Amino acid sequence: MINHELTLPYHISSTHPAHHSLHECFIKMASLYTEQTFGYEIALKSVLLQALFLLLQYSTTESATISASSDKLKNVLDYIDLHYAEPLTISELAELCYFSEYHFMRFFKKHMNMTCIQYINNVRLEKAVELFEHGETSILEVSLSVGFHNLSYFHRAFKAKYHMTPLSFIKRLN
């Protein structure tokens, strides 16, 4: 686990085979902690190790983890590609992977070498360029249709990516 070669299950639904046993372990841990009888720390450690043993039975190796990560990332990227024009939040994207927002942002950056917001903005800017190339000349309409609801932010992002303003880009096309 320390070398990230083994991954424990992070979502145990009520239908999971280990759910009942883990639930019993957590009830026992809560009881031990609440009562705090002499030596309860040793008993707590024992029950914690038992829970870890149960989780290890359903652990995955690094190759299975990579495959699962690839599937989760593909789902997120597909979702972004379909919904780029809508307001997207980190929380809704994290839910697609069953991750916390913090874990999702780290996961995304690790696999994509950019933040999720940077990726979404890149997709939106590429879609804007496609619209400009297909003859759309209203910068406001394009920015709104690709999901930028702040024209000033659209201009800054466009200029940062393409090293020219949207108007300069349109003039270049003509």
User: What is d(CA 21, CA 54) in angstroms, rounded to the nearest whole number?
Assistant: 8
pLDDT at 26: 94
Q: Please, is 99 exposed, middle or buried when counting C-beta atoms within 10 Å of its C-beta (0-12, 13-18, 19+)?
A: buried
Q: Which of 65, 25, 30, 68 is nearest to 46 (CA)?
A: 25
pTM: 0.63
Angle at the Cα of 37 (from 32 to 39), degrees rounded to 5? 90
Instruction: Please list the residues that pair with 7 across neighbouring strands.
Output: 60
Q: Look over the chain and give the mean of its residue pLDDT values, rounded to a whole number.
A: 88
pLDDT at 67: 55
104-118 pLDDT, tens per residue? Answer: 999 899 889 999 999
Half-sphere exposure of 28 (CA within 13 A, CB side): 18
What average pLDDT does this structure show over 30-58?
91
Instruction: Identify each DSSP E strand in the chain by its residue range.
Output: 6-7, 60-61
pLDDT at 63: 47
Q: Are 96 and 72 in contact (CB under 8 A)?
A: yes
Rg (CA), the chain: 24
User: What is d(CA 121, CA 161) in angstroms, rounded to the nearest whole number?
Assistant: 10
Q: Are 83 and 43 in contact (CB under 8 A)?
A: no
